[in-house]
Structure 1
Amino acid sequence: MSTQKCHGRVIASLVGCTALVLAVTGMSGTAQAHGRDAARRTLAANDGWASSGTGTTGGAAADADHVSTVTTWDEFQRALADGGTAPKIIKVRGTLDADGSTCADFAVDGYDFDQYLADYDPAVWGWDEDLEGQKKIPGTQEYLRNLSAAAQAKAIKATIPANTTIIGVGKDAGIVGGSLQITGVDNVIVRGLTMESPLDCFPQWDPTDGDTGNWNSEYDAAVVHGSTHVWLDHNTFTDGTHPDSTLPSYYGRIFQQHDGELDIVKGADLVTASWNVFEDHDKTLMIGNSDSAAATDEGKLRVTLHHNLFKNLVERAPRVRFGQVDAYNNSYVGNADYNYSFGIGYKSRLFAEKNSFTLPEGIGAGAILHRWNDYPLTAKGNVVNGVATDIIAAYNAANAAAPLQSGAGWTPTLRLRVDPAEAVGPIVARGAGATRLR
């Protein structure tokens, strides 16, 4: 075997040089294989579930009339609508402000938050009945809140058509306050965007949620709903300038204005999320949204997560129902708010291999898994604070009364490369996120 120099290092063969370049830059095999125009790159063969079958090409085949550069939210919405499902490429330059209006601009006549708080104060309303019935009664504050929420939803949701590539260009490409709706379509690519989670102006109070009630919000930064062949790559999902620590409290509960950063739900299938950053959030990534969704979710929700950075999160990285989820070579960096990473839900089949966990003092490896339902998973080759750790055994040692089973019953095959777990932290730190797109 011949040797050669690659960026100052002597290594064996051209293949070795390519592998080193990919490890340093965070570029996937796609970047190597598809020319210089990042906007026309397609997902490489064998790069996770989204490469299965017909693969994921997005708008790579777009003609010149369907390649556009947008600098405002309105331009973005028009570009999405132009040409129907014909292949299209939308380049996002700068930051698109989806919620430039104030919350007062969305509120319908008669809605008054102070009155809402007075009407549904648990001291008045109690804890035993939710507000769904109020939503149907014209003139009630819950009815008016719901109408106001619908006005905000219309303004900030963007419907992504089939055969579309959305890609950020420049250092500050992104979306503030918008929600990408990838719903009921096939073949979508989203790359190189910083997406700041939308703030729900009109969360709903539910006194029956938990022992002391909760505020529930809408709007994920991105939703994959009933869609197939979706590739999300080199994006940054963040709460940005509005972390939960800045939110007020009412009725003794945080006025939660954030939902998820990314949800993959309701029959979605064949999704690859690679080299993304998910940071500074509570309920981050949900795969499957209901235990009762067997009719839509059984045999679907097949998702690959690799080389993503999950940083300063509370939970759901991901929480899984039904799906065969391959989570490998991800870096998890926790802080004092850390609750868990992998949520094991109804009929989930998680395969977690060679991930790196960096947990703060006082939080042990037994916290990495959370059991919602007793379904088996495979976990192998993972490291916790640099030490090889059986995370199932660690969980079971801390939760002897409700253990988890080992053995997901399947083995992933759609992988380009698997890095040693000990190297994942620095590799992902150098390569993940919107600013690392090449």
Structure 2
Amino acid sequence: MRTQKCHGRVIGALVGCTALVLAVTGTASASARPGPRAGLDRQVLPARDGWAAYGTGTTGGAAAGSAHVYTVTTWDQFKAALTDGGTAPRIIRVKGTIDADGPSCASFAVPGYDFAAYLKTYDPAVWGRGKNLDGESADSPEGLRRASEANQDAFVKALVPADTTIVGIGKDAGFKGASLQIKGVDNVIVRNLSFESPLDCFPQWDPTDTADGNWNSEYDSVDIYGGTHVWMDHNTFTDGAHPDSTLPHYYGRIYEQHDGEMDIVKASDYVTASWNVFENHDKTILVGNSDSASTVAVDRGHLKVTFHHNLFSNLVERAPRVRFGQADSYNNHFVAKDGYGYSYGIGTESQLVAEHDAFTLPDGVQAGTILKKWNESSLTADDNYVNGSPTDLIAVHNAQVPGEILRSGAGWTPALRTAVDPARAVPGIVDHGAGAGHLR
């Protein structure tokens, strides 16, 4: 098979590297036509732009041949484009908002599933709070919930292959209710897209999660699970029409139907998240998802992630919460509003460098809450501004939260950065440039 190099990546059986659009019809077989925005589609991560530039860098689908460049407008077309062409590099242009929610929650429910029966069976006054529901049989209310959840899982998740670029066309491109799975693959670019968080139709009740129990949900908008060399750029993540304030309560707890906006877990490595907006959400970003012994064996030495020029607005927590990894976070703007918990979570063996960031806090929210200590780990937090004033985040945390003393010094110095903006200028720069719709 003849090979040809395009943008530094070797690909097979290509006639050339000119960008053409294949308008997917669900079978990925329509004729090709000249496509718009070819320059944007084939852009690669700049040199030294965060951890995703490490080693081979991140080029996504820049080497795609004309037969593997697609324009999609529906969820079926998008999924077809992800599987068409085997392992060949691909570019997928998303046009408009693609609805991945499915017809309705009822359409995913298996015969016999009854939420009223579920609530009656597992009411803490009946079931108690000493055991979880994991051992429940397939024909129990919990078993029927699991089966219904599996139907939704198969519909809303989409596996992204290696050497792929997914890019929005125009200012209104994105997904509603989708969960992109960048799982065990290398070299993926996702840009210029809006993500409205999936709404889990079948959250699970866990009586043992805290003293009061909790409803736990599935589906991150983007799940990077063992993925490497991933560039997430100029995207917007939000709960859209279904913020937590609209969700009901059962057993005295919020019926939580959202999970994370973007999680980076299970030995993922070399990820750059730049110029994104994360807003109106609770559990926003995890870098490393567990402290368990089995997770330590997998994650230790991995989870190298860069966050820069992102806007984190009206979030509760995890922006991000970090375990194990060397996370470099600079030139981000954090805007706290009602319900704010913390921004940076300091977890097991984390080595977070948080520098040149700006924080806008409302009256009544102390700067000491910006950092949250979950486990004994040190961090570097230099040249940060809070409400326009230079602030030592570690010192103010230790003074205001004396039971959670943090140590300074992450033990490493980031080397993969492009231009670093002055922290005091970050709000103006980031607020006007971050998020979907800003790329041309």
Deviation at 1:436, TM superposition (A): 1.1
User: Structure 1 length normalisation: TM-score?
Assistant: 0.91
Pairing 1:333-344 to 2, within 5 Å after superposition? 333-344=335-346
- Classify the secondary structure of the residue corresponding to 1:80: helix
Equivalent residue, structure 2, for 1:144: 144
Equivalent residue, structure 2, for 1:155: 155
Deviation at 1:85, TM superposition (A): 2.0
- Classify the secondary structure of the residue corresponding to 1:340: coil
CA distance in 2, matches of 1:147, 1:133: 14
> 88, 91, 98: which one pairs with 1:89?
91
- Which digits, 9 at most, give the CA deviation of each residue in 1:270-326, with x for residues without a partner? 000000000000000000001121221111000000000000000000000000000
Deviation at 1:100, TM superposition (A): 2.9
- Classify the secondary structure of the residue corresponding to 2:150: helix
Pairing 1:190-229 to 2, within 5 Å after superposition? 190-229=190-229
Pairing 1:125-136 to 2, within 5 Å after superposition? 125-134=127-136
> 84, 99, 102: which one pairs with 1:100?
102
Deviation at 1:185, TM superposition (A): 0.2
1:389 aligns with 2:395: no
- Which digits, 9 at most, give the CA deviation of each residue in 1:337-356, with x for residues without a partner? 11100000000000000000
- Classify the secondary structure of the residue corresponding to 1:339: coil
Equivalent residue, structure 2, for 1:321: 323
Moved more, 394-403 or 373-382: 394-403
Equivalent residue, structure 2, for 1:79: 81
Equivalent residue, structure 2, for 1:258: 258
Are the equivalent residues in 1 in contact too, given 2:171–2:438 (CA < 8 A)? Answer: no
Deviation at 1:400, TM superposition (A): 1.9
Equivalent residue, structure 2, for 1:243: 243
Equivalent residue, structure 1, for 2:282: 282
* Letter aligned with residue 125 of structure 1: W
Are the equivalent residues in 1 in contact too, given 2:284–2:317 (CA < 8 A)? Answer: yes
The 1:118–1:352 alpha-carbon spacing in structure 2 relative to 1, beyond 3 Å, is: same
Deviation at 1:172, TM superposition (A): 1.0
Equivalent residue, structure 1, for 2:52: 50
CA distance in 1, matches of 2:38, 2:143: 52
Q: Which runs of 4+ in 1 moved over 3 A?
A: none
CA distance in 2, matches of 1:331, 1:305: 11
CA distance in 1, matches of 2:390, 2:96: 42
Equivalent residue, structure 2, for 1:165: 165
CA distance in 2, matches of 1:221, 1:179: 4
CA distance in 1, matches of 2:376, 2:297: 20
* Letter aligned with residue 199 of structure 1: L
The 1:128–1:421 alpha-carbon spacing in structure 2 relative to 1, beyond 3 Å, is: same
- Classify the secondary structure of the residue corresponding to 1:377: strand
Deviation at 1:36, TM superposition (A): 6.6
CA distance in 2, matches of 1:194, 1:224: 17
Equivalent residue, structure 1, for 2:3: none
Give RMSD over aligned pairs: 0.8
CA distance in 1, matches of 2:361, 2:38: 39
CA distance in 1, matches of 2:439, 2:58: 18
1:233 aligns with 2:233: yes
- Which digits, 9 at most, give the CA deviation of each residue in 1:139-168, with x for residues without a partner? 100000000000000000000000000000
CA distance in 2, matches of 1:378, 1:138: 49
CA distance in 2, matches of 1:386, 1:177: 37
Equivalent residue, structure 2, for 1:186: 186
Pairing 1:1-20 to 2, within 5 Å after superposition? none
Pairing 1:361-372 to 2, within 5 Å after superposition? 361-372=363-374
Are the equivalent residues in 1 in contact too, given 2:347–2:375 (CA < 8 A)? Answer: yes
CA distance in 2, matches of 1:401, 1:120: 36
CA distance in 2, matches of 1:400, 1:75: 54
- Classify the secondary structure of the residue corresponding to 2:147: helix
CA distance in 2, matches of 1:379, 1:302: 17
CA distance in 1, matches of 2:38, 2:116: 55
CA distance in 1, matches of 2:98, 2:432: 26
Q: How many residues align?
A: 402
- Compare the two structures and name the one with the higher helix fraction: 1
* Letter aligned with residue 230 of structure 1: V
CA distance in 2, matches of 1:337, 1:129: 30
- Classify the secondary structure of the residue corresponding to 1:37: helix
Pairing 1:61-80 to 2, within 5 Å after superposition? 61-80=63-82
* Letter aligned with residue 209 of structure 2: D
- Classify the secondary structure of the residue corresponding to 1:435: coil
Moved more, 396-405 or 198-207: 396-405
Deviation at 1:52, TM superposition (A): 0.3
CA distance in 1, matches of 2:166, 2:130: 45
Equivalent residue, structure 1, for 2:7: none
* Letter aligned with residue 190 of structure 2: V
CA distance in 1, matches of 2:144, 2:397: 46
User: Structure 2 length normalisation: TM-score?
Assistant: 0.91
Gapped regions of structure 1 (runs ≥ 5) = 1-34
Equivalent residue, structure 2, for 1:119: 121
* Letter aligned with residue 237 of structure 1: F
* Letter aligned with residue 391 of structure 2: T
Equivalent residue, structure 2, for 1:59: 61
CA distance in 2, matches of 1:84, 1:194: 27
Equivalent residue, structure 1, for 2:332: 330
CA distance in 1, matches of 2:360, 2:83: 43
CA distance in 2, matches of 1:419, 1:298: 31
